[in-house]
Chain A
Amino acid sequence: MIKHHYASGVLQQFFALILSILFTEKLVRFIFYKFHCYFNQHKMSALAAFVTPFFLLFVALFIKLDNKKKQQLKTKLSLLYPHITSPFGSLANFVRILLQSVYLITFNVTTKDAPSRNEHTKATARLINRVFRIIRYMDSKLTRRCKKWWLQFQKKTNVKPLQRVNSFNLWQNRILKFVFYFMLAFTVLLFVTVPFSLEAQAIFISLILIVAYSLRRVDGQMATITMITLAVTTSTRYLWWRYTDTLNWGDPLALTLGIGLLLAETYAWLVLILGFFQTINPLHRKPIPMDGDTSKWPTVDIYIPTYNEPLNVVKPTAIAAQSIDWPADKLNIYILDDGKRPEFAEMAKEIGVGYLDRPDNSHAKAGNMNHAMKYTDGEYIAIFDCDHIPARSFLQMTMGQFIKDEKVCLVQTPHHFFSADPFERNLDNHRQIPNENMLFYGLIQDGNDMWDATFFCGSCAVLKRKALDDIGGFAVETVTEDAHTALRMQRAGYKTAYINIPQAAGLATDSLSAHVGQRIRWARGMAQIFRLDNPLLGKGLSLVQRLCYINAMLHFLSGIPRIVFLTAPLALIYLDAYIIYAPFIAIFLYIVPTLMQVKITNSRIQGKYRYSFWGEVYESVLAWYILKPTTVALFNPNKGKFNVTEKGGLNDVARYDWLISKPYIVLLLLNVLGMCYAIFRLIFGDVSQIGVLLISMLWVSYNMMILGAAVAVAAEAKQVRSSHRIKANFPAAIRLANGRTIKVKITDYSDSGVGIETVHEHSCRENDKVELLMSRGKKQFSFPTFICNTRKRQIGLTLRDLSLDKQKAFIQCTFSRADAWLDWQDNFKHDKPSYSFKRVFYTSLRGYSNLIFHAPKPFRPFIIFMTNVIEVMISLLPKKPKKYSKLYD
């Protein structure tokens, strides 16, 4: 080290000696100073550092470089070459300088801020903005005008002569009826089958689209029915065209694939028509109040079946069930424990509810409840899954239906979840986008109720014991005992009812795999019912009930068609198979408007419960998984179990569920490769195919978007289950240690804490002991709490070591409040397809980035390498020079 240092010292003196021969002393010092600068600070090589000062001196012979000018030059250069990094003398910088210089020379770019050009862009932006505003204005005008016309039209039709015509006895004539129906059918047939030239089709479809578009925001049942009629006509027409005109009989491969697609489309059409029919007139049943004399009220048993759920999940449910407003001597609660756990028996004894277990676990939940029916004798049976906490008004909201009509055997209420389900959690859209359940409980069940075909969903429902006895207890033949039981009771002539008021709430499934597992069970059960007790056949059901059931079952057969849709456009790209054998323009004129028409109609009907395009995402996630169990169950209903292992519990770190997303990733890769190949073919392939290729590519990119969103779901977000905070808004009070009271508003609560907000800034500090006063009806309860955090007007309280009585009281004041879940559906605005499309698109982008960031370990070096390469490549490209800001002038 010393030696080296000594050597460099000698070397330096040597050079100094030589240089002093040529230059003055001042210049020698300058050269050494520069050399040190370049070598040590700019990290140049020794040679470059040695040569550059001489170069500078040489340049200085021609150009006078004083400090100020140097500074200006530096700034100028840094503006023109914004992406040059230090150390300055690297190979990459050389390439950058070269490319940038070429760019600067070839294109006339200035570093000066060009106001004129900016002005220009601004003007363009303003123009575009104005055009958009005009379009929007025209749109709203048109919609409003249509509303007005529609209302006027309706008023005019409401006149008396029409009513008189309406009440003619003539209409009851059977032959006349028959003639009318025949004429109707004939007209529809005509509409559907008459062949159009392309121009005629264009006019026809655009007329229908205009009507549908302008009607979409007009209120009222009639407008809905009109839109449905139009959608049915166009879609049927489309299907007819597909069957008659578009099969490629010349090419066996294309024919097979084409028929496959056609069958999938037929399935979609059937589901669409049945769905329209199911939801055309939702009933919106209202609760019937109970008679004031409680001595006449019937006895009710509450079953809480459990198998392996933890105690702290079951306990609140049992406590809440106890505090349901029903005469205590007519209300019996039983925990049906298939896990046979002694601590559950103890807990049941402690809080004072019944506990039943059985020697075996045959037939799972249905068997469990059948066993319990032998040991209990209530006239009605209410069932809660062990994590569904009932509101105290549950029985008074539902029992009125039984009292009014003794043929009613089932009253179902919606399943409401206060925690985010895997979709909502992983996509981070809880309470922003209606979840998967919403469509079923918000719309379909209400629609079913109209046709007296309400399904039993296994929880949050009351059943009549007599009806159950009539059909021999809960059905045990399938894995969805609930739906099957209801079907049997309906066959036996009983009625079912649905009340769309959430009267219980629970925890959603923890993980995507558990969620998928649950759906697999439902799909399998539905397929089993289809085989064992087909609702289309057999006695006792009306036609409409059969149709509703068939629709529900078809829904679970969506696996194959969905996968067909996700792969169909690839047939043309990879195999050159014309699966839709028609000219490009015909395809365009039939498919796009029909799809739009159907989307607009569905958006109108389902708008509050399911946003456009999200249905496809939900379906795509499940498609692969329900495909196998449904198919197997259809062929052999008694075979096999397909439960995905439940991982359950907490996700303490964010992770990516590769196992579950494998099928979508394969599909995604297929589509991405297809897209690349299509671009290749577009450039180098046959010119005549450009049209069809473009349509296929459009379809593929849509599929890629849906698949991207499906992939995004598999990124399991971090979650802490122990305390789900539930948003709330009701009054309460606190009493401070000094005895003063403050009115507060409860903003959220969990089973171990409460968040409150005061009207004014408060003077509470952390760890203070305060009493929380909450009331339930006339009764007021006080809970000892500690302040765990404070912000301006917010206070967080924790509850510690509550006695059993206090625990009960707390649940009564929070989870089982009657109005606790009433606002669930009001959070959502009506669907806007464009907005919804944007959301799905961003979700999809998120899916792609998830794929990259969560890549498994072996791929990671490669991905890091690739990203680095891409980054460097991008950094080499010429950049726009930085603008010379006027501030520094």
Chain B
Amino acid sequence: MKRVFLKGIKGGTGSTSVAANLACAFRKSNEDILLIDLDPKSDVGLHLGLPWQHNSGWSNFPNFESAIEEFFTDNDGVIFLPYGSNSLGIKRLQETIAGVSNLKTSQSAWVIFDCPNYIDLNDFSFTEQDIVLEVINCDAICHSLVYKRLVSLNQATKDWQHYFLVNKYNSASELESDLLQVWQSETPLLAPIHINKDEVIKESTAFKNVAVNCAPYSVAYDDFETLAGWLVSKASKND
């Protein structure tokens, strides 16, 4: 089982839609995929066609084992677990991650965790195979946060593979292209792929779907496919 943790470096970076699209992109190439919502906003389900009124999830159950019933499968075959409506502490998050990891799945299955942006990565136990993608946007705040994060990553010993993933990149903006230029040439740990800003990502959520399904001829489709491909190549290097 290969674990990918997606979190925004701050709120509103679009990490949830990246998670949902990435999951579907993996399905397109016939990988087994589990998508676990760890964010109390509990909105992953909306991308995958879960009814709006459905607001229970694993947090509504006393422990992970009892929440097994809450797993859903969407039309593409993405298996996902919504968060639910209870706010829970860090302990339950750790339990859930551990519970998912102990599930009997195939060796090659992927698990994507959509994490809230405020969690501290050091609270979780990662292995060297785990990939953490921290979603950033091309703006000055993210620039500052990235360098702060780099400092903290340098100081602590990290066990996981950490990458920054640029989302909503708009190359027509001067600031954004300048920032990406600096990052690409200077910032370590920047993923070699970025997700372009694309209206279809927003639109497809309104259609209760993901861009990968709605717009096969869009750049977004390519971006997520490349991202999935890159992750596969990373994982195969780990093996």
B-contacting residues of A (Cβ < 8 Å)? 733, 735, 738-743, 758-760, 771, 773, 778-782, 784
Chain A residue at smallest Cβ distance from B219: A741
Contact A779 B181 (CB under 8 A): yes
Given A758-B217, A781-B171, A782-B177, A741:B200 Cβ within 8 A: yes
| Distance (whole angstroms) from the CB of B94 to the closest CB of chain A | 37
Contact A743 B222 (CB under 8 A): yes
Pick the contact of A733: B170, B200, B219 (CB < 8 A): B219
Within 8 A of A (CB), among B216-239: 217-222
**A779–B217 alpha-carbon span in the complex (Å):** 21
Chain B residue at smallest Cβ distance from A744: B217
Judged by a CB distance under 8 angstroms, whether B199 is at the interface is yes
Judged by a CB distance under 8 angstroms, whether B12 is at the interface is no
Q: Which residues of chain B come closer than 8 Å to A781, judged between CB atoms?
A: 171, 177
| Distance (whole angstroms) from the CB of A251 to the closest CB of chain B | 81
- The SS class assigned to the A binding surface is strand
Chain A residue at smallest Cβ distance from B190: A778
| Distance (whole angstroms) from the CB of B234 to the closest CB of chain A | 17
**A286–B140 alpha-carbon span in the complex (Å):** 46
**A740–B192 alpha-carbon span in the complex (Å):** 23
Contact A740 B171 (CB under 8 A): no
Within 8 A of A (CB), among B197-219: 197-200, 203, 215, 217-219
Q: Which residues of chain A come closer than 8 Å to B196, judged between CB atoms?
A: 733, 735, 741, 773, 780
Pick the contact of B199: A740, A758, A779, A784 (CB < 8 A): A740
**A528–B203 alpha-carbon span in the complex (Å):** 73
Contact B217 A759 (CB under 8 A): yes
| Distance (whole angstroms) from the CB of B226 to the closest CB of chain A | 12
| Distance (whole angstroms) from the CB of B201 to the closest CB of chain A | 10
Q: List 29 A-B contacts (CB under 8 A).
A: A733-B219, A733-B222, A735-B197, A739-B197, A739-B199, A740-B198, A740-B200, A740-B215, A740-B218, A741-B199, A741-B200, A741-B218, A741-B220, A742-B217, A742-B218, A742-B219, A743-B218, A758-B217, A759-B217, A771-B172, A773-B171, A773-B219, A778-B192, A780-B171, A781-B171, A781-B177, A782-B171, A782-B172, A784-B172
Q: Which residues of chain B come closer than 8 Å to A739, judged between CB atoms?
A: 197-199
**A741–B217 alpha-carbon span in the complex (Å):** 8
Please provide the 3 A-B residue pairs with the shortest distance between their CB atoms, ordered closest to farther.
A739-B199, A782-B171, A741-B219
Judged by a CB distance under 8 angstroms, whether B87 is at the interface is no
**A781–B181 alpha-carbon span in the complex (Å):** 11
| Distance (whole angstroms) from the CB of B237 to the closest CB of chain A | 19
Q: Which residues of chain B come closer than 8 Å to A780, judged between CB atoms?
A: 169, 171, 180, 194, 196
Contact A778 B184 (CB under 8 A): yes
Q: Which residues of chain A come closer than 8 Å to B171, judged between CB atoms?
A: 771, 773, 780-782
**A759–B171 alpha-carbon span in the complex (Å):** 23
Q: Which residues of chain A come closer than 8 Å to B218, judged between CB atoms?
A: 740-743
A-contacting residues of B (Cβ < 8 Å)? 169-172, 177, 180-181, 184, 192, 194, 196-200, 203, 215, 217-222
Q: Which residues of chain A come closer than 8 Å to B217, judged between CB atoms?
A: 742-743, 758-760
Q: Which residues of chain A come closer than 8 Å to B169, judged between CB atoms?
A: 780
Q: Which residues of chain A come closer than 8 Å to B192, judged between CB atoms?
A: 778
Other A-B pairs, 17, CB within 8 Å; known A735-B172, A741-B196, A782-B171: A739-B198, A740-B200, A740-B218, A741-B200, A741-B219, A743-B218, A743-B219, A758-B217, A771-B171, A778-B184, A778-B192, A779-B180, A780-B171, A780-B194, A781-B171, A782-B172, A782-B177
**A780–B177 alpha-carbon span in the complex (Å):** 8
| Distance (whole angstroms) from the CB of B131 to the closest CB of chain A | 20
| Distance (whole angstroms) from the CB of A268 to the closest CB of chain B | 58
Chain A residue at smallest Cβ distance from B184: A778
Q: Which residues of chain B come closer than 8 Å to A782, judged between CB atoms?
A: 170-172, 177
**A743–B172 alpha-carbon span in the complex (Å):** 17
Q: Which residues of chain B come closer than 8 Å to A778, judged between CB atoms?
A: 184, 192
Q: Which residues of chain B come closer than 8 Å to A771, judged between CB atoms?
A: 171-172
**A471–B192 alpha-carbon span in the complex (Å):** 48
Contact A779 B184 (CB under 8 A): yes
Q: Which residues of chain A come closer than 8 Å to B180, judged between CB atoms?
A: 779-780
| Distance (whole angstroms) from the CB of B64 to the closest CB of chain A | 40
| Distance (whole angstroms) from the CB of A316 to the closest CB of chain B | 21
Contact A738 B199 (CB under 8 A): yes
**A758–B197 alpha-carbon span in the complex (Å):** 19
Q: Which residues of chain B come closer than 8 Å to A740, judged between CB atoms?
A: 198-200, 203, 215, 218
Q: Which residues of chain A come closer than 8 Å to B198, judged between CB atoms?
A: 735, 739-741
Q: Which residues of chain B come closer than 8 Å to A735, judged between CB atoms?
A: 172, 196-198, 219
Q: Which residues of chain B come closer than 8 Å to A773, judged between CB atoms?
A: 171, 196, 219
Q: Which residues of chain A come closer than 8 Å to B221, judged between CB atoms?
A: 743
Q: Which residues of chain B come closer than 8 Å to A743, judged between CB atoms?
A: 217-219, 221-222
Q: Which residues of chain A come closer than 8 Å to B219, judged between CB atoms?
A: 733, 735, 741-743, 773
Q: Which residues of chain A come closer than 8 Å to B200, judged between CB atoms?
A: 740-741
Chain A residue at smallest Cβ distance from B221: A743
**A508–B197 alpha-carbon span in the complex (Å):** 41
Most buried by B among A741, A759, A773: A741
**A760–B180 alpha-carbon span in the complex (Å):** 31
| Distance (whole angstroms) from the CB of B142 to the closest CB of chain A | 18
**A266–B28 alpha-carbon span in the complex (Å):** 71
**A814–B192 alpha-carbon span in the complex (Å):** 22
Q: Which residues of chain B come closer than 8 Å to A733, judged between CB atoms?
A: 196, 219, 222
| Distance (whole angstroms) from the CB of A810 to the closest CB of chain B | 13
**A760–B221 alpha-carbon span in the complex (Å):** 15
| Distance (whole angstroms) from the CB of A163 to the closest CB of chain B | 45
**A742–B216 alpha-carbon span in the complex (Å):** 9
Q: Which residues of chain B come closer than 8 Å to A759, judged between CB atoms?
A: 217
**A584–B197 alpha-carbon span in the complex (Å):** 82
**A466–B13 alpha-carbon span in the complex (Å):** 56
| Distance (whole angstroms) from the CB of A408 to the closest CB of chain B | 32
Most buried by B among A733, A760, A784: A733
**A410–B197 alpha-carbon span in the complex (Å):** 47
| Distance (whole angstroms) from the CB of A687 to the closest CB of chain B | 78
Chain A residue at smallest Cβ distance from B173: A782
**A142–B50 alpha-carbon span in the complex (Å):** 71
Q: Which residues of chain A come closer than 8 Å to B203, judged between CB atoms?
A: 740
**A742–B177 alpha-carbon span in the complex (Å):** 20
